[in-house]
Amino acid sequence: MKILVCITHVPDTTSKIQFTDNNTKFDKTGVQYIIGPYDDYALARAVELRDQTGGKLTVLNVGEAETEPTLRKALAIGADEAVRINAEPTDAFFVATQIANHAKEIGYDMILMGRESIDFNGGMVHGMVAELLGMPSVSPVMKLDLEGDTAKIAREIEGGKEYLEIKLPFVAGCQEPIAEWKIPNMRGIMSARSKPLQVQELSGDVVATKTVAYEMPPAKGAVKLIDSNNVQELVELLKSEAKVL
């Protein structure tokens, strides 16, 4: 079994988001980077499935050298090897093309990703990769079990779940509760240092979109506090200001 997990290198969920250069560049000052939370779920489930079936678990990031600590963390969590495709990822289609070209060469049985990145929130790279590879895609996946060459999957839909069966290979975008996040232990961290991390050059550089400027949302006004013994006042405000009653 060959499993690929694609991971993003993204600002920690508590980071303050700011821009520089006249709002044309993300300001990296003081920002801590993490494995995308959804990718972390995909990775956790992939480690469990690899342990169950044997085989090899590869993690991949399309990014510049600064993302290597994030890939090392994925190795510490339990991946067997890492691949970094050396390019600045500024467009989902570009990233999907890199991943698909790599996957074509290796022939993975299963490609797991997060349901979406937490920087650009596209939710599209998995579907694009699947289409490029001519494979089925499914997202957002909250349960994934293997029975031989068939995956049994639960996919979240508005207000519920849909259950599916798919034959390998396929691409999935994952979310909780597919598995619990895994925290690297000391042995994992030690062994991660000697696991292979291969850098590959980019293949093709077609982009479909290009970001030209950033903007911050308008600041919120001060909260109007209402006495807990006077809920009537809130009802009036919901009627007259918010107009929801």
Partner 1 sequence: MSIIVYIEHIEGAIKKTSLEAASYASALAEQQGVDAKGVVLGTVSEDQLASVGTAGLSTVYHVNDDQLNAGVIQAHAEAVAQAFEKAGADTLILAKSSLGDAVAARLAVKLDAGYISNVVALPSTSGTYTVKRSIYTGKAFAESEITKTNKILGVKKNAVPLKTDGAPASVEALEVNLSEGAFAAKITSIDKANDEIPLPEADIVVSGGRGMKGPENWNLIEDLAKALGAATGCSKPVSDSGWRPHHEHVGQTGVKVAPTLYVAVGISGAIQHLAGVNASKYIVVINKDPEAPFFKAADYGIVGDAFEVLPKLTEAIKAVK
Ligand X SMILES: Cc1cc2nc3c(=O)[nH]c(=O)nc-3n(C[C@@H](O)[C@H](O)[C@H](O)COP(=O)(O)OP(=O)(O)OC[C@H]3O[C@@H](n4cnc5c(N)ncnc54)[C@H](O)[C@@H]3O)c2cc1C
- Residues within window 140-199 making contact with ligand X, judged by CB under 6 A: none
Q: Does 121 participate in binding ligand X (rule CB under 6 A)?
A: yes
Binding residue (CB under 6 A) for ligand X from 76, 125, 166, 178: 125
User: Which CB sits closer to ligand X, 183 or 241?
Assistant: 183
Q: Does the footprint of partner 1 cover residue 197 (CB under 8 A)?
A: no
Q: Any contact of residue 90 with ligand X (CB under 6 A)?
A: yes
Selection from ligand X, partner 1, none that 169 binds (CB < 5 to 8 A by kind) is none
Residue 212 as a binder of partner 1 (CB under 8 A): the answer is yes
Burial of 87 (0-12, 13-18, 19+ CB in 10 A): middle
In the list 35, 110, 113, 151, the residue contacting ligand X (rule: CB under 6 A) is 113
Beta-sheet pairing, 25-26 with 19-20: antiparallel
Helical axes 125-133 vs 92-106, angle rounded to 10° = 40
Quick one: 82 or 128, whose CB is closer to partner 1?
128
- The residue range among 48-56, 60-68, 113-121, 191-199 that interacts with partner 1, by the rule CB under 8 A, is 113-121
CB 41 within 8 A of CB 114: yes
Which tokens go with 146?
């293997």
Instruction: Name the phi and psi angles at 96, rounded to 5.
Output: -60, -40
Q: Compute the half-sphere exposure of residue 134: CA atoms within 13 Å on the CB side of its CA.
A: 2
Residue 112 near residue 174 (C-beta atoms within 8 A): yes
| Residues near ligand X, by CB under 6 A | 6-8, 13, 26, 36-39, 60-63, 88-92, 95, 113-114, 116-117, 119-126, 211
